[in-house]
Amino acid sequence: MATTSLHGPADTADAGYRHPQYAEAFSEFGSPVFLPHCRGWVLRRRVPGSDRDDATGCYPIFACERWDVLCEDVQSLSSDLVSLTIVTDPFATIGLDSLRSCFDTVVPFKEHFIVDLRQHAPAPVSRHHRRYAARALRVLDIERCETPLAFLDDWVALFGVLVRKHRLAGMRAFSRDSFARQLAVPGMVMFRASHERVTVGLHLWYVQDDVAYAHLGATSTEGRAMMASYGLYAAAIDWFTPRTHWLSLGGAAGTSRADEDGLTFFKRGWSTGSRPVYVCGRVLDAAAYAKLAATAGGGEDYYFPSYRRGEFDQAGE
């Protein structure tokens, strides 16, 4: 008989993507740089084939406490950096005009699906998703993990299948050490699906303020056959409903801006709406940027920085 054990408080103080420990989880890809006015973090990293550095937000979005003073930090970044690139939070409290006054490039990237838990209680779910979730909950045990780090081995094994299947590379492939750090960040909430005591699916969320962000999820072959992802989402929504206002489910896979794919269909079925996120880029050293861009060749005109175009061509999500 399947069970659901989801009781217990969530830690939301100074948590999630804004926490310094989250930036430190990416230290193998760059040096974390604190932005003191807005209280956010970016990574300083070496430009391949160059002796210069640029900066980028951490995966998957840039988060900060005070969006109204972000531009003060951007303007004060050292010109020994070639450029800065961030992907905005769908819940960022900043308007497009302010972004465009601060960045040279502001391009719509994806629609991120959201759930307003206070507008709809319980949250609306498509008939298809309800049916699959019910099927999963009949055969799986779902629990909220009190100590996510205790399931590090299970998580690394499950996510490793995704890395190989989708040829994930770079920052999105993650290392065991990076995951160990991520699982210890305050605000981490992990849900586990198991069958006969064997882990068949795990889903990671970060809670900060009144938003729970779907971070990463992975299931085994057996878990996929038992619709574990549907059971995990249904259980998470039930648990978060009295505790947060919003869920942020993310968008389409990879760097695609396509209208529909399997992941988009899955997320849309849980959502009450969507919000846009933007790629924002600022050139900090114009001469160095032009020199690097000249070696990059053609491609998508929206990509920033242009000299890094194609860096995710061999990776999926």
Considering the domain architecture, whether residues 234 and 154 belong to the same structural domain is answered as yes
What mean pLDDT, rounded, does the chain reach? 89
Smallest CA-to-CA distance from 204 within 221, 179, 238 is with 179
Please check whether residues 147 and 230 belong to one and the same domain: yes
Q: Which H helix or E strand runs over 18? A: none
Are residue 47 and residue 91 in the same domain, yes or no?
yes
DSSP assignment of 208-235 equals ETTEEEEEEEEE-HHHHHTTHHHHHHHH
DSSP state of 274: E
What is the spatial distance between Cα 22 and Cα 70, in angstroms, rounded to a whole number? 19
So what's the pLDDT on residue 317?
Answer: 31
* Percent of the chain's residues with pLDDT above 90: 76
Distance CA 209, CA 13 (A): 8
Cα 286 from Cα 283, distance rounded (Å): 6
Same domain, yes or no: 45 and 83: yes
Q: Is 283 helix (H, G, I), strand (E, B) or coil?
A: strand
pLDDT the model gives residue 84: 98
Q: Distances in Å between the alpha carbon of 163 and those of 181, 189, 214? A: 19, 22, 18
Say yes or no: 268 and 124 in one domain.
yes
Under DSSP, the state recorded for 8 is: S
Specify if 317 maps to a domain: no
Give the model confidence (pLDDT) of 260-292 as tens digits.
578 899 999 999 999 999 999 999 999 999 999
pLDDT tops 90 at residue 30: yes
Query: What is the number of H-type helices and E-type strands within the chain?
Result: 10, 12
Q: Which of 205, 171, 155 is nearest to 32 (CA)?
A: 171
The tens digit of pLDDT for each residue in 213-228 reads 999 999 999 999 999 9
Is the pLDDT score of 4 beyond 70?
no
Average of per-residue pLDDT across 62-68? 96
Q: How many domains does the chain have?
A: 2
> pLDDT confidence of 247, banded at 50, 70, 90?
very high
Residues 128, 99 share a domain = no
Q: How far apart are CA 6 and CA 145, in angstroms?
A: 8
The pLDDT score that the predictor gives to residue 9 is 37
Q: Is residue 6 part of a domain?
A: no
Residues 106 and 122 reside in one and the same domain: no
With respect to residue 231, please indicate whether it lies within any of the assigned structural domains: yes
CA distance 45 to 80: 12
Query: In the predicted model, is pLDDT for residue 152 greater than 90?
Result: yes
Q: Is the distance from CB of 194 to CB of 104 less than 8 angstroms?
A: no
In 3D space, the residue among 114, 90, 66 whose CA is nearest the CA of residue 245 turns out to be: 114
Instruction: Examine the pLDDT at 67 and tell me if it is beyond 80.
Output: yes
Strands in 188-195's sheet, in edge-to-edge order, are 4-5, 141-145, 188-195, 198-208, 211-219, 246-250, 105-116, 273-283, 81-87, 53-57, 40-46, 31-35
Q: Do residues 85 and 207 both lie within one domain?
A: no
Task: Give DSSP secondary structure letters for 162-199.
Answer: HHHHHT--GGGT--HHHHHHHHTSTTEEEEEEEETTEE
